[in-house]
Amino acid sequence: MDNLIIPPALGILGMVMAFVVYKLVMKYPDGEDKVKKIGDQIHAGALAFMKTEYKYLLSISVAKNDGFDGLCSPKELINSNFPFDSSKSIR
Protein backbone atom coordinates (compact mmCIF):
# COMPACT_ATOMS: atom_id res chain seq x y z
CA MET A 1 0.00 0.00 0.00
CA ASP A 2 2.91 2.37 0.71
CA ASN A 3 4.17 1.89 -2.86
CA LEU A 4 0.97 3.45 -4.21
CA ILE A 5 1.74 6.74 -2.46
CA ILE A 6 5.27 7.18 -3.82
CA PRO A 7 4.53 8.02 -7.52
CA PRO A 8 1.91 10.72 -6.82
CA ALA A 9 4.10 12.18 -4.05
CA LEU A 10 7.08 12.35 -6.42
CA GLY A 11 4.86 13.92 -9.08
CA ILE A 12 3.72 16.62 -6.68
CA LEU A 13 7.31 17.18 -5.52
CA GLY A 14 8.39 17.55 -9.16
CA MET A 15 5.66 20.11 -9.82
CA VAL A 16 6.66 22.10 -6.74
CA MET A 17 10.32 22.06 -7.79
CA ALA A 18 9.42 23.13 -11.34
CA PHE A 19 7.43 26.04 -9.90
CA VAL A 20 10.38 27.07 -7.69
CA VAL A 21 12.77 27.00 -10.66
CA TYR A 22 10.25 28.95 -12.75
CA LYS A 23 10.01 31.65 -10.07
CA LEU A 24 13.80 31.87 -9.78
CA VAL A 25 14.25 32.24 -13.53
CA MET A 26 11.45 34.80 -13.90
CA LYS A 27 13.01 36.94 -11.17
CA TYR A 28 15.85 38.00 -13.48
CA PRO A 29 15.47 40.72 -16.14
CA ASP A 30 14.95 39.79 -19.79
CA GLY A 31 18.19 41.42 -20.90
CA GLU A 32 19.08 43.99 -23.52
CA ASP A 33 17.09 44.60 -26.70
CA LYS A 34 19.34 42.34 -28.79
CA VAL A 35 18.94 39.47 -26.31
CA LYS A 36 15.16 39.95 -26.23
CA LYS A 37 15.02 39.89 -30.03
CA ILE A 38 16.99 36.63 -30.19
CA GLY A 39 14.79 35.13 -27.47
CA ASP A 40 11.64 36.11 -29.36
CA GLN A 41 12.99 34.50 -32.54
CA ILE A 42 13.79 31.28 -30.67
CA HIS A 43 10.31 31.30 -29.14
CA ALA A 44 8.66 31.81 -32.55
CA GLY A 45 10.71 28.95 -34.01
CA ALA A 46 9.79 26.65 -31.13
CA LEU A 47 6.09 27.42 -31.59
CA ALA A 48 6.31 26.74 -35.33
CA PHE A 49 8.05 23.41 -34.63
CA MET A 50 5.42 22.38 -32.08
CA LYS A 51 2.59 23.29 -34.45
CA THR A 52 4.11 21.10 -37.17
CA GLU A 53 4.82 18.29 -34.71
CA TYR A 54 1.21 18.23 -33.50
CA LYS A 55 -0.05 18.13 -37.10
CA TYR A 56 2.00 14.98 -37.71
CA LEU A 57 0.92 13.41 -34.43
CA LEU A 58 -2.73 14.08 -35.20
CA SER A 59 -2.45 12.60 -38.69
CA ILE A 60 -0.75 9.46 -37.33
CA SER A 61 -3.38 9.10 -34.62
CA VAL A 62 -6.21 9.45 -37.13
CA ALA A 63 -4.58 7.04 -39.59
CA LYS A 64 -3.96 4.49 -36.84
CA ASN A 65 -7.60 4.59 -35.74
CA ASP A 66 -9.09 4.66 -39.25
CA GLY A 67 -11.01 7.81 -38.38
CA PHE A 68 -12.04 9.83 -35.38
CA ASP A 69 -13.21 6.94 -33.22
CA GLY A 70 -10.82 7.76 -30.35
CA LEU A 71 -7.14 7.85 -29.60
CA CYS A 72 -4.88 4.81 -29.53
CA SER A 73 -4.69 2.95 -26.28
CA PRO A 74 -1.20 2.45 -24.81
CA LYS A 75 -1.49 -1.29 -25.47
CA GLU A 76 -2.22 -0.69 -29.16
CA LEU A 77 0.78 1.62 -29.43
CA ILE A 78 3.08 -0.90 -27.77
CA ASN A 79 1.80 -3.80 -29.88
CA SER A 80 2.18 -2.02 -33.20
CA ASN A 81 5.15 -0.92 -35.23
CA PHE A 82 3.16 1.83 -36.94
CA PRO A 83 4.23 3.56 -39.20
CA PHE A 84 7.04 1.10 -39.93
CA ASP A 85 5.47 -2.32 -40.52
CA SER A 86 1.92 -2.76 -39.30
CA SER A 87 1.86 -6.46 -40.23
CA LYS A 88 4.29 -7.31 -37.40
CA SER A 89 3.55 -6.57 -33.78
CA ILE A 90 5.50 -6.87 -30.55
CA ARG A 91 3.92 -9.48 -28.31
How confident is the model over 29-52, as pLDDT tens digits? 888 899 999 999 999 999 999 999
Length of the chain: 91
| pTM exceeds 0.85 for this model | no
Please report the pLDDT score of residue 8 as a whole number: 92
* 71 contacts 63 by C-beta, under 8 angstroms: no
Region 54-66: what's the mean pLDDT?
78
Handedness of CA 50, 64, 67, 72 (dihedral sign): negative
